[in-house]
Amino acid sequence: MFILVNLKTYPCDPVAVADAVAAVDETTDARVAVAPQAAHLERVAETGAETWAQHVDPIDYGSNTGHTLAETAADAGAVGTLINHSEHRLKLADVDGSVRAADRAGLETVVCANNPAQIGAAAALGPDAVAVEPPALIGTGTPVSQADPEVVEGAVDAARNVDEDVAVLCGAGISTGDDVVAAADLGSEGVLLASGVAKADDPKAALEDLVDPL
Ligand SMILES: O=C(CO)COP(=O)(O)O
């Protein structure tokens, strides 16, 4: 299982969480990675934790003020990027452009989407993975894999019908190892989560609980 911790703009210490991610990754067969804010990419990558960007723009080098260039994220140590989060919504053409930009820079891609229909559209753009995250469950602590299993199964079917090579992850409310096991049982190859680790009093203990049953 792939466990990708999105730090969003939570007021946590990104380096401390990254240290915990790196330490827990050593103890498990699961793959554990962290997606800090763009300004923290370099410091986070220096911990040795697998580091992802939260976003890259559909641009190339040039006159693009205030944008995130995929190559710059890669230079800072990112090995992958999220694209099109519910909290950072892109037009389909821009999702496509961001996937192309990430490919150009050698970044792995996970395109997020709200529901199975959008997952099908996202999978058609050829990312490495898609992640279904129902917006109503994000940040609630109610795990999509246990509260809304149909949406995860629907996403797996939607992606498989389009491109069997695109992995499917799920996210929203995931915070325990049981939530991760439930996701795996539904055909998900990984989970995206944020508050369960970024807002935890002890992020390392939260990560240990997530990987414990794997
Ligand atoms: O949006 C998410 C991950 O990208 C999920 O957030 P929560 O884990 O806080 O529900």
Q: What is the pLDDT along the chain (214 residues), one digit of tens a residue?
A: 999 999 999 999 999 999 999 999 999 999 999 999 999 999 999 999 999 999 999 999 999 999 999 999 999 999 999 999 999 999 999 999 999 999 999 999 999 999 999 999 999 999 999 999 999 999 999 999 999 999 999 999 999 999 999 999 999 999 999 999 999 999 999 999 999 999 999 999 999 999 999 9
Q: What is the distance between the alpha carbons of residues 18 and 51, in angstroms, rounded to a whole number?
A: 8
Cβ(132) to ligand 1 under 6 A?
no
Architecture, CATH, for domain 2-211: Alpha-Beta Barrel (3.20)
In the chain, where the domains are located: 2-211
Angle at the Cα of 143 from the Cα atoms of 141 and 148, rounded to 5 degrees: 135
Cα separation, 115 vs 155, in Å, equals: 7
Partner residues linked to 32 by β-bridges: 3
Cβ burial, residue 180 (10 Å; 0-12/13-18/19+): buried
> Which residues make up each annotated binding site?
6-8, 138, 173, 194-195
Give the nearest ligand 1 atom to 175 CA: 8
Spatial CA neighbour of 34 closest among 69, 68, 8, 11 = 8
Catalytic residues: 85, 133
126, 166 in Cβ contact below 8 A? Answer: yes
* Residues forming beta bridges with residue 47, ordered by sequence position: none
The response to whether residue 191 sits with its C-beta less than 6 Å from ligand 1 reads no
Q: Which of 152, 169, 122, 157 is nearest to 2 (CA)?
A: 169
Give me the residue label for tokens 């299982």: 1
Query: How far away, in angstroms, is 6 Cα from ligand 1 center?
Result: 7
